[in-house]
Structure 1
């Protein structure tokens, strides 16, 4: 027999059927007994009348078929009056289960700018058919425990309750797709979509269930770096300054272009593309802050140039070819750097000086001159002096006003052929600014010493010595000279 599920009298036993035997005379001598699936718990039988009752709610989704057996026995003898009867109770489905999604919440992601990628023909057909040919995001699935083979109780149809007009859902498959082209993560990153699954084919009266889908737009490199509008190529420039004494590598300031992308897509590389300062300055990229750091590349000289202009370029190192048509993925800005004057020490005209002077030069004689000047625009006056640690005997002196060196004591080349002294140039207005230069003084020899014999000589000559015969070599030398002159003794005359 067929019985609708959920059949129950709501606390009152509901009669499903009545068993009766011809042997029952109605005198109460027979007793009806029920056995099998659910006997005694779901189904009971009135032992006097044979009425079978359902005492609990029947649920087809738990059990759809029950096999029961019934018999009638004589109360006095306990014997069956007829063979046992078997009957089947089949629970007939009703729409008592709403669709349930496999997850209470779904999470999905899709790259931004994932458009409705169809050509014009497909777009037209899509419009006519009322379907959405967008980019697939995720598929949701709902199941219905009702009988799929009977009616529409388990026929599920999907619809979108929240998330339009950005997304759509296929009513049969549950595939969620984008519904708008060129969705930008920079405008909105997170979307919460609510999907409904309704049975009975979506018709009125059907049961429904819902789920939430959290969709995140992931980043693509669709934005080029841009300098702030006030520093763009056609607007104001960045302004920095540097003392002329700044050594190479000194950072002067930072510039920053903005890229609304994230991660690798927001990385920026800075370079100097043009400008009269491209040889004097450099720019490096701070990978942590994505800023460009302007640094000194070569030594600066205020007296040579006081203002430099740089054209700086910011670019993406990882452009996406799909979006190159959006324009160049780089931007430019101008940087102006002013050089500040620093009070510099005097600069000599040479790295060192060599002066030659005769050893018989008179005291007070000028033997040479050193020249230094203040490299600054102020051209401060210079005074000169001799570092007395390099001239302990005070042989030399210098005129403080013009750098002329003169002798204070006589010279002796044979005693000291070279003198190495240091001359100091100092700014009069700022004595802290001073420079030193080595001066090498070579003493030139003059003929101021007569030759002298090295030893006393005593010579013996044989009486039969021949003319021109060499008897002995005599040597003489000039004091402190390296050359030794050889002389011959002949006929008692010295031949030199």
Structure 2
């Protein structure tokens, strides 16, 4: 490649002397130099026309790209008419690449390129030149603009945008069918020479394909290329610049071409005759085998449709096309019988579903084959005379009556006897039975249509010689109705009559139902069991009746309810009837006849009081009772006062004596039995809770004897205090804890020593204390007071 560039540069240097760097001298003047050529011509109007041709322009420089010399590449020279050669002028360069890519000699105006330039990076550079006085630094001429154009050389090969192309063309295409177009690009200057002129050629892929040199369009070159013979082709295309001439640069690309399928091949069976076998017991729809034709095409062009077009078994067999496997599946269309026919012959056709009219000349796109089907003998199960049986029987027949017979036979040539049985899963109550020999079905229990109108049985027929061969058949037994049920009220009637009812007033409409189902439909008659002075029944003759009053006014205080027997009869044979009793309550009603109350107790309640209101009232009463009980319990609890009260509360007038007991003998509480000491002589009793103003001697009472009960003694004391006029108006509690005779300690009462309250005067105790002690001795036990 370097040798070619050197040769190209040498040719340019020889044949283009105007562009030689040693001869590129442009004189800088105030105006661009032009060469003018004038020619005189005569126009239509006789005027002379002048044509002016522009000469070489000083302000354009040319430079070859990819310079390989060791020195700076000379571009050109700037020179001003004001330059006297004495060095007084200075040349200045500015613009694209000035000072870096392009430099200028300040004194001589020579311009050089400092490095190699690639035109594909930038095709031209715009610069500005100026000449100034070196001493005054003033420009001697206006600034001028000039262009340095880069001349192209063929240094870029054509390139394809893709290294590998993929294309396809239908098989059997005519010669010259366009396949794909490839395009290469060349970075060289297309406006200068042939550096960018590309020519295409095929390096690989002949003689099957060709390429147009100018456009790069690849076309088929052979007729009737068959995909079934070869499907893939690889074509190598070359793009060469310089118009394909010697010395041009080139690039290549690969095109993978696939022949797409067309329907140019018919389906073909591999065999002319196909043999299949099928058992005679095969049910309808059973697949017995398959046939398949092959097609060299692919996709939808290879899709095949199978059909039976002829033969003696067209009505016994079907064929189904399996799309995913492209097979024809033969199936049983009707039940087979070895004893009737043992061999069938079918003619099966396979045809393409998508046929291309362009290839009709190749022949019909179909093929046929013969299929022979042999029927094999098997031991068949019994066959019933019917697919199902229906028997009808009245519900009043006697047990053991035959309701019907089923029949079955062995279809095999060697006929075997048949045994019948009932599937007990279909007759759990064992209402029916069957004779195993003749298939007669009879009843074993009474029938009742009202319990079950239909019975669905299953009868099993089995060969005696081969019990495994069985057949089932459905037997439907319909129970016919017999009038054996009496009509009854349709619903329970809650009937009432108003106290202010008038004669002939409707109080209830009744209807009836009957479990029987006569053919002519139900017809009921209503009547009273006996004449009733209060009510009557009127038959509406539409299976309903009206209950009417016969008198004026009813009183629930006299009679709260009435019982009205109503006789209901049907019209079937034998006639059945029943008596239903209506309970008619007497109720209070408003003026519109709306019921308000039906019981005598309800008169105590306000009219129209609802159940919710009654419940609310009852809850309020219960709550009040609970409050009263709690209040009473709290009141009783408050009446229980403690034995020792506060000393500040003198209303209770409690006097407590906490005298020393009898030592170790005094280990228990005070025993009231000490009050029965007969040795103590009753002394005069005085009040202990108040200071007596005058000495009052109470009347004496006889002391209790030993045999006097303690209860009598206490009752006498209570009675005595009740009639005592000096007793306070409230209860007074006096506690005596008298010291026993054996104790050396005296009274330990703290009434005086234990109080510091000066408002209460207990001095009277000092005066009456000895007397109280005397009384205590009268009732005390002395040595015997061990439990005080």
Q: Secondary structure at the match of 1:90?
A: strand
Q: Secondary structure at the match of 1:339?
A: strand
Is 1:256 matched with 2:292? yes
Q: Which has the larger radius of gyration?
A: 2
Which of 206, 210, 224 is the aligned partner of 2:248?
206
Q: CA deviation at 1:177?
A: 0.6
Q: CA deviation at 1:433?
A: 4.2
Q: Secondary structure at the match of 1:100?
A: coil
Q: Tell me the equivalent position of 1:493.
A: none
Which of 171, 188, 195 is the aligned partner of 1:112?
171
Q: Tell me the equivalent position of 1:58.
A: 117
Contact 2:65 2:151 in 1 (8 A): no
Structure 2, gaps ≥5 residues long: 1-59, 389-405, 425-429, 441-457, 476-788
Q: Tell me the equivalent position of 2:100.
A: 41
Which of 309, 314, 320 is the aligned partner of 1:273?
309
RMSD of Structure 2 on Structure 1 (CA): 4.0
Q: Tell me the equivalent position of 1:196.
A: 238
Alignment of 1:349-360 (within 5 A): none
Is 1:304 matched with 2:340? yes
Distance 1:158 1:371 in 2: 92
Q: CA deviation at 1:217?
A: 2.3
Contact 2:199 2:244 in 1 (8 A): yes
Alignment of 1:201-240 (within 5 A): 201-227=243-269, 229=270, 231=271, 233=272, 237-240=273-276
Q: Tell me the equivalent position of 1:484.
A: none
Per-residue CA deviation, residues 366-389 of structure 1 (Å, 9 max, x unaligned), is xxxx99864323x145377899x9
Contact 1:8 1:55 in 2 (8 A): no
Q: CA deviation at 1:343?
A: 0.9
Distance 1:97 1:221 in 2: 47
Which of 224, 228, 232 is the aligned partner of 1:186?
228
Distance 1:329 1:76 in 2: 103
Contact 1:7 1:54 in 2 (8 A): no
Q: CA deviation at 1:20?
A: 4.6
Q: Secondary structure at the match of 2:214?
A: coil
Q: Secondary structure at the match of 2:361?
A: helix
Q: CA deviation at 1:43?
A: 1.1
Q: CA deviation at 1:9?
A: 4.6
Q: Tell me the equivalent position of 2:354.
A: 318
Distance 2:344 2:215 in 1: 66
- Structure with bigger strand share is 1
Is 1:77 matched with 2:172? no
Distance 2:86 2:407 in 1: 152
Per-residue CA deviation, residues 354-377 of structure 1 (Å, 9 max, x unaligned), is xxxxxxxxxxxxxxxx99864323
Per-residue CA deviation, residues 322-354 of structure 1 (Å, 9 max, x unaligned), is 1121121111222222212111245689999xx
Alignment of 1:11-160 (within 5 A): 12-20=71-79, 30-81=89-140, 84=143, 86-116=145-175, 134-160=176-202
Per-residue CA deviation, residues 424-460 of structure 1 (Å, 9 max, x unaligned), is 986453244467999xxxxxxxxxxxxxxxxxxxxxx
Per-residue CA deviation, residues 252-289 of structure 1 (Å, 9 max, x unaligned), is 12222122322221211111122222221110011222
Q: CA deviation at 1:40?
A: 2.1
- Structure with bigger helix share is 2
Q: CA deviation at 1:294?
A: 0.7
Residues 435 and 194 of structure 1: is their aligned pair in 2 closer, same or farther, counting only changes over 3 Å? closer
Distance 1:206 1:199 in 2: 5
Residues 149 and 432 of structure 1: is their aligned pair in 2 closer, same or farther, counting only changes over 3 Å? closer
Q: Tell me the equivalent position of 2:522.
A: none
Which of 204, 211, 221 is the aligned partner of 1:162?
204
Residues 88 and 345 of structure 1: is their aligned pair in 2 closer, same or farther, counting only changes over 3 Å? closer
Distance 2:472 2:138 in 1: 140
Q: Secondary structure at the match of 1:142?
A: coil
Residues 335 and 48 of structure 1: is their aligned pair in 2 closer, same or farther, counting only changes over 3 Å? same
Distance 2:461 2:325 in 1: 48
Distance 1:347 1:295 in 2: 23
Distance 2:472 2:84 in 1: 145
Residues 2 and 46 of structure 1: is their aligned pair in 2 closer, same or farther, counting only changes over 3 Å? closer
Q: CA deviation at 1:28?
A: 5.8
Which of 408, 417, 435 is the aligned partner of 1:382?
417
If asked which structure has higher relative contact order (CA below 8 Å, sep 6+), I would say: 1
Q: CA deviation at 1:291?
A: 1.2
Q: Secondary structure at the match of 2:149?
A: strand
Distance 1:383 1:80 in 2: 138
- Which range moves more in the overlay, 422-431 or 99-108? 422-431
Is 1:283 matched with 2:325? no
Contact 1:380 1:429 in 2 (8 A): no
Residues 36 and 248 of structure 1: is their aligned pair in 2 closer, same or farther, counting only changes over 3 Å? same
Q: Secondary structure at the match of 1:98?
A: coil
Q: Secondary structure at the match of 2:358?
A: helix
Distance 1:386 1:220 in 2: 66
Q: Secondary structure at the match of 2:115?
A: coil
